[in-house]
Amino acid sequence: MRVINAKNADEAVKLAAETFIEAADARPDAPIGLATGGTMDGIYLKLKELGFRPKTQHAFALDEYEGLEPGSENSYAAELTDKFVERLGWTGTLHVPGTGHYSGETGLELLEQRLTELGPISVQLLGLGSNGHIAFNEPGSEFASTTRLVELHPATRSDNARFFPSLEDVPTHAYTQGLATISRSSCLLLVVLGERKRPALSQALTAPSPQTPLAALLDHENLTLITDQVL
Ligand code: GLP
């Protein structure tokens, strides 16, 4: 793992955007992997500022809430359409687990299949939940897991309630790429910002276990961690 200690969040976001562009442009025909959450907001803005024009025709989302109304502004499909697809004027295909062709059990298998056919992903953006989740792989997730429907941890629902009208509106379940699915990407770019994330990050690095999903990715041959936290 390559660790880049940024002096603050702004520097981390800039380094993350530059690293993402470099890795995506190095393999222009490969799909890219997108993530959501507050940490990614700044990165997507920076991609626009740096004039990034994705050359790939395919982007895969890591995860999606289950049970939202189609087109809900809280869906990750809507968030990525707004913050990545439309902002960058990109005309490729966004593949989102649990939606459209990728609905239901067979849809999730189809997503894995499409990833295999089109992949591997050149660069996968990753954030970290304050409880240590990766995408929506909660603590205790199988390291060999693939794309599936999962129940969200109460801590995840409560963290993400800030994006919804109330906690009750946060879905209880979600679709997520599995840890094994994510580890198939050529390059993993993990961005961890803020004091709030430090305990989860430090636990995964110093005491990796089935309770720290990041542990499944620590042996990846091309994992870069960009953080504003001193480890
Ligand atoms: C959501 C996403 C995760 C992301 C996490 C961190 O739960 N499913 O993929 O890593 O948010 O979010 P934030 O950056 O808002 O702390």
Per-residue confidence band for 70, with pLDDT thresholds at 50, 70 and 90: confident
Q: Clarify whether 131 is annotated catalytic.
A: yes
Nearest residue (CA) to ligand 1, atom 12? 37
Nearest residue (CA) to ligand 1, atom 10? 127
Residue 77 confidence (pLDDT): 97
- Give me the amino acid identity at 59: A
Residue 44 confidence (pLDDT): 98
In the predicted structure, residue 111 carries a pLDDT above the cut 90: yes
Q: How far is CA 221 from CA 2, 37, 169, 188, 218, in A?
A: 10, 25, 39, 9, 8
**Mean predicted confidence (pLDDT) in 64-80:** 95
In the predicted structure, residue 231 carries a pLDDT above the cut 90: no
Percent of the chain with pLDDT over 90: 98
Q: Clarify whether 138 is annotated catalytic.
A: yes
- What spacing in Å lies between the alpha carbon of 128 and ligand 1's midpoint? 6
Q: Clarify whether 133 is annotated catalytic.
A: yes
Read off the pLDDT of residues 138-175 as tens digits, 9 standing for 90 and up: 999 999 999 999 999 999 999 999 999 999 999 999 99
Give the Cβ contact number of residue 22 at 10 Å. 11
- Using the atom order of ligand 1, give the atom closest to the CA of residue 130: 16
Mutation choice for ligand 1 from 128, 181, 195, CB with most ligand atoms inside 8 A: 128
In the predicted structure, residue 71 carries a pLDDT above the cut 90: no
Residue 8 confidence (pLDDT): 98
Residue 91 confidence (pLDDT): 97
Residue 182 confidence (pLDDT): 98
- What spacing in Å lies between the alpha carbon of 225 and ligand 1's midpoint? 15
CA 57 to chain centre: 18
Kindly give, in sequence order, each residue whose CB lies less than 8 Å from that of residue 69, ignoring residues fewer than 6 positions away. none
Active site residue: 64, 66, 112, 138, which one?
138
**Mean predicted confidence (pLDDT) in 180-184:** 98
Residue 192 confidence (pLDDT): 98
- What spacing in Å lies between the alpha carbon of 129 and ligand 1's midpoint? 5
pTM of the entire predicted model? 0.97
- What spacing in Å lies between the alpha carbon of 60 and ligand 1's midpoint? 16
Q: What is the mean pLDDT of the chain?
A: 97
Pocket (CB within 6 angstroms of ligand 1): 35-39, 62-63, 127-129, 135-136, 156, 160
Domains for the chain: give ranges and CATH numbers.
Answer: 2-195+216-221 (3.40.50.1360)
Read off the pLDDT of residues 26-49 as tens digits, 9 standing for 90 and up: 999 999 999 999 999 999 999 999
Instruction: State how beta strands 173-176 and 148-151 pair.
Output: antiparallel
